[in-house]
Amino acid sequence: MSTVPTWAAHAGAAFLAPSGPGTYSHLFAILNDPIAFPSMGAQKCVCVVGFSSVPVATSYDATCVFQAGEHPFITHSSFAFYKYAQALFVADVERNVTSGIWVPKPPDFDFTQLNRLKAGLAASPRASRYLQNLKI
DSSP 8-state code for residue 15: E
The residue type found at 125 is P
Give residues with Cβ within 8 angstroms of 15, minimum separation 6: 27, 28, 30, 97, 102, 103, 104, 105
- What percent of the chain has pLDDT above 90? 91
pLDDT of 1 over the 50 cut: no
Distance CA 50, CA 63 (A): 13
**Average pLDDT, rounded, for the chain:** 94
Residue 41 pLDDT:
95
pLDDT band of 5, cuts 50, 70, 90: low
Q: What is the pLDDT of residues 9-58, one digit of tens each?
A: 999 999 999 987 778 899 999 999 999 999 999 999 999 999 999 999 99
Residue 40 pLDDT:
95
